[in-house]
Amino acid sequence: MKLVYTDVAIDDLKRLREFIEAHDPTAAARVAAGLVEIIRRLPDFPKVGAPVPLAPDPDSIRDMVFGKYVVRYSVHPSTVIVLRIWHGLEGER
């Protein structure tokens, strides 16, 4: 199964890293690496996240929580698409 990031998800990851880096560069690297690593596993375990009940197809749009961060992704027959990434205090994106 293939893993794809939307441009918005890539921007989200950059934004989160820059925000953390302004306060703690070491933590920024650790959080970014952790998010990338857990996301890398999604093609192997695409149903690990919780279905998003309000999505048009709740079984294909899922949220995975990693610490204080949420990764929203969609599952397709041969692809997992990372849609958005945000900190839980930011609210749903």
CATH of the domain at 25: 3.30.2310.20
Token pair belonging to 9? 């998800």
Q: Which amino acid is at 22?
A: A
Q: What is the pLDDT of residue 91?
A: 64
* Neighbouring-strand partners of residue 66: 69
Count how many domains the chain has: 1
Q: What is the pTM of this model?
A: 0.90
pLDDT tens, residue order, the chain (93 aa): 999 999 999 999 999 999 899 989 899 999 999 999 999 999 999 999 999 999 998 889 999 999 999 999 999 999 999 999 998 777 665
Predicted confidence at residue 6, as pLDDT, reads 98
Beta bridge partners of 75: 80
For residue 78, give its domain range. 2-90
